Amino acid sequence: MSGEGDMCQEGTMTTESWIRCWEDPKMDFTAKTVNKLFTDYHDQMLRKPCTRVLVPLCGKALEMKELMMMGHEVVGIEVSPVACKAFFDENGIKYEAKHIDKIPGTVFEGSKNGVKARLYSCDYYQFSPEIEGGFEAVWDSGGLNSIEEDDDKKRYIEVLKPLMAPGCVNLTELCQISDCPYNISEEELGSTFGDEFNVKLLTDVEAWQEMKEMEVNRLKLYLIDRKSK
Ligand SMILES: C[S@@+](CC[C@H](N)C(=O)[O-])C[C@H]1O[C@@H](n2cnc3c(N)ncnc32)[C@H](O)[C@@H]1O
């Protein structure tokens, strides 16, 4: 997510301001290398071949290409059409664009070696299981973590919960930034997901250099799944 330090505008980011940021060629929110926690822990969420993985607020994250290369279907949600198209263009994947039937927006769909990716350019808060059903896995890095207001974090999690099918494993990365009022504690994460979900801290590591340059001190990775009845 280089460039995130120089925010495109002061104050809370809206979908419109994110769209404008992505239109500025100087802005680049995407890490240059695959997330180390993804590399070390993806086995925990990919429990069978051809898993359908949801990547909320995906930008053009490199982990989506990794998932496709491993044979897993990717569904991303990203408000900026520029970011969606860049993911396909930069990874040499041909794509088609179609209107989304049930909500405003465009879905960009492509495949490589028979493995599909669909990136929904729409407002995450309008997404629901009516569009794609439930998912078997969720990779969330820079999704929940980029939501600033407490009420929006709660809304974000309320949208996510029904998208997690029974047995779904959600890996959520949270960055700890010094003196940042938007840090989410483990207790807050657990209480917002609620009694039906387990929230387990998998690891808590010192941030690597690229993240430290954005004032991130530590990175925590949580595994979130539904409690069995
Ligand atoms: C911090 S970036 C993280 C991108 C990506 N996960 C990564 O790791 O590179 C957050 C992304 O969420 C997108 N976004 C913000 N609000 C959104 C919303 N309401 N619906 C869909 N996408 C949104 C932004 O355009 C931006 O690409």
pLDDT at 7: 46
At 166-190, the pLDDT tens digits run 999 999 999 988 777 777 888 999 9
Confidence of residue 131 (pLDDT cuts 50, 70, 90): very high
pLDDT at 180: 75
Query: Which atom of ligand 1 is closest in space to residue 30's alpha carbon?
Result: 9
Give me ligand 1 centre to Cα 77, in Å. 8
Show the tokens assigned to 68: 């496709």
Mean pLDDT on 47-57: 97
Our mutation pick for probing the ligand 1 site, out of 79, 125, 177, 214, counting the most ligand atoms within 8 A of Cβ, is 79
Mean pLDDT on 105-130: 98
**Average pLDDT score, the chain:** 92
Nearest CA, atom 25, ligand 1:
18
pLDDT at 171: 98
Nearest CA, atom 27, ligand 1:
59
Bigger pLDDT: 22 vs 4: 22
Q: Is the pLDDT reported for residue 15 higher than 90?
A: yes
pTM for this entry: 0.94
Q: Is the pLDDT reported for residue 42 higher than 90?
A: yes
Choice among 151-155, 160-164, 180-184, 190-194 with the minimum mean pLDDT: 180-184
Query: What gap in Å lies between CA 1 and CA 17, rounded to an integer?
Result: 16
Mean pLDDT on 110-128: 98
Report the pocket of ligand 1 as residue ranges, CB < 6 Å: 1, 15, 18, 22, 29-30, 57-59, 61, 77-80, 83, 123-125, 141-143, 146
Q: Which residue has the tokens 């769209």?
A: 19
Which phi and psi angles does 125 have, rounded to 5°? -70, -10
Reference 164, options 41, 54, 45; nearest CA is: 54
Query: Which atom of ligand 1 is closest in space to residue 4's alpha carbon?
Result: 1
pLDDT at 13: 86
Show the tokens assigned to 140: 């969330």
8 Å CB contact between 2 and 31: yes
At 53-88, the pLDDT tens digits run 999 999 999 999 999 999 999 999 999 999 999 999
Our mutation pick for probing the ligand 1 site, out of 54, 146, 153, counting the most ligand atoms within 8 A of Cβ, is 146
Domains and CATH numbers, the chain: 15-226 (3.40.50.150)
Give me ligand 1 centre to Cα 58, in Å. 6
pLDDT at 170: 98
Tell the burial category of 101 from Cβ atoms under 10 Å away from its Cβ (0-12, 13-18, 19+).
exposed
Give me ligand 1 centre to Cα 4, in Å. 11
Please list, in sequence order, all residues whose beta carbon lies within 8 angstroms of the beta carbon of residue 21, skipping any fewer than 6 positions away.
8, 13, 27, 29, 80
Nearest CA, atom 12, ligand 1:
57
pLDDT at 6: 43
